[in-house]
């Protein structure tokens, strides 16, 4: 285990179902292996259902907290996994929106992958940001006043006084996790 992220506290937020398995588990594993203290919180707390490719149920994972019980001030970074059901549920959740906005307002790192940037739209934090996502979100993001959209494995944008890291799909997870690690090392 490396200690690149010792002392860093990272919050991963999900709904209780529809989470793309690797987009939840790979960041939890990779960032924990770098020494970060990881918290996985879900809308209702307790059991979460992961999927593979949005359609095939995979394993269940226990979240350690409920979104309503958390404050951004207690964490250094926020990670939002994808999965269409996961992201669509989170974008409608007042506590998820509150947390995303609080991380952005505090100038902290926010990382979202695949359909995760949908949550950023409803939290009202992407205006003036350039990002990437699953390709079908491009028009949604631009309509929500994102400054631009890039078709790259990971995009880091530091505009508006906070760092936003985005990636497209599970195949981009190594670059996504590395970008989060680098952002927190320099924070």
pLDDT digits (tens, 9 = 90+) for 10-62: 999 999 999 999 999 999 999 999 999 999 999 999 999 999 887 788 999 99
Rama region for 117: left / alpha / beta (φ>0; ψ in -120 to 50; rest):
alpha
Q: In whole angstroms, what separates CA 166 from the centre of its chain?
A: 8
pLDDT at 20: 96
Active-site annotation holder among 80, 114, 125, 137: 114
Check pLDDT > 90 for residue 187: no
Query: Is the Cβ–Cβ distance between 41 and 68 less than 8 Å?
Result: no
pTM: 0.97
From 8, 21, 108, 115, the catalytic residue: 115
What CATH fold (topology level) applies to the domain 9-185? Rossmann fold (3.40.50)
pLDDT band at 125 (very low <50, low <70, confident <90, very high): very high
Chain segment 71-115, per-residue pLDDT in tens: 999 999 999 999 999 999 999 999 999 999 999 999 999 999 999
114 is a catalytic site residue? yes
Q: For the chain, what are the domain ranges? A: 9-185
- Please tell me the distance from the alpha carbon of residue 59 to that of residue 57, in angstroms, as a whole number: 7
pLDDT at residue 134, rounded to an integer:
97
The 3-class SS string of 147-185 reads: CEECCCCEEEECHHHCCEEEECCHHHHHHHHHHHHHHHH
- What's CA 185's distance to the chain center, in Å? 18
Nearest to 109 by CA among 160, 163, 36: 163
Query: Per-residue pLDDT for 117 more than 90?
Result: yes
Band of residue 7 on the pLDDT scale cut at 50, 70, 90: very high
Cβ 64 vs Cβ 12: under 8 Å? no
Identify the pLDDT of residue 1.
64
pLDDT of residue 166: 98
Helix (H, G, I), strand (E, B) or coil at 97: helix
Q: Is the pLDDT of residue 179 over 90?
A: yes
Check residue 186 and give its pLDDT. Answer: 82
Residue-level pLDDT at 160: 66
- For the chain, the first-to-last Cα distance in angstroms comes to 21
């Amino acid at each position: 285990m490396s200690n690149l992220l010792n002392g860093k506290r990272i919050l991963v937020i999900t709904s209780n179902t529809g989470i793309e398995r690797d987009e939840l588990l790979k960041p939890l594993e990779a960032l924990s292996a770098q020494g970060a203290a990881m918290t996985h919180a879900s809308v209702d707390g307790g059991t979460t259902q992961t999927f593979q490719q949005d359609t095939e149920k995979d394993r269940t994972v226990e979240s350690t907290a409920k979104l309503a019980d958390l404050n951004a001030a207690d964490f250094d970074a926020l990670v939002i996994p994808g999965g269409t059901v996961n992201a669509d549920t989170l974008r409608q959740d007042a506590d998820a929106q509150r947390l995303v906005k609080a991380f952005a307002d505090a100038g902290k790192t926010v990382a979202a992958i695949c359909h995760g940037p949908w949550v950023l739209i409803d939290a009202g934090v992407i205006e003036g940001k350039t990002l990437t996502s699953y390709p079908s979100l491009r028009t949604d993001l631009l309509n929500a006043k994102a400054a631009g959209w890039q078709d790259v494995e990971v995009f880091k944008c530091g505009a508006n006084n906070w760092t936003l890291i985005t990636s497209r799909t599970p195949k981009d997870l190594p670059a996504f996790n590395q970008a989060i690690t680098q952002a927190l090392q320099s924070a």
